[in-house]
Amino acid sequence: MADFQNEPIQDGNDSTVDEKMQGIVDQVKADIDLDSADIDVSAELQQRASEAGVPLTAAEADAIADDIANSP
């Protein structure tokens, strides 16, 4: 057995789509909290979802972005 990683970690990720999407939302919220409020939240959600292989429509991204904007 090797002492180093030679496969992407994602290959072993058993997270559900909902868990992955929640992680993406949490990351975007954290970015906004770090004073990156000038980002297009909907576009950022769509990009990160695409990168993670999570299906997300523009309408869904817009709704989540609205939820983020209206959360405390």
Q: Tens digits of per-residue pLDDT, 22-71?
A: 999 998 888 887 776 678 999 999 999 999 999 999 999 999 999 988 88
Q: How distant, in Å, are the alpha carbons of 19, 20, 21, 28, 32 from that of 13?
A: 11, 10, 13, 20, 26
Residue 9 — pLDDT band, cuts 50, 70, 90? low
Helix (H) or strand (E) holding 8, with range, is: none
**What is the mean pLDDT of the segment spanning 1-18?**
61
Predicted confidence at residue 1, as pLDDT, reads 46
Q: Is the pLDDT higher at 2 or at 47?
A: 47
pTM for this structure? Answer: 0.71
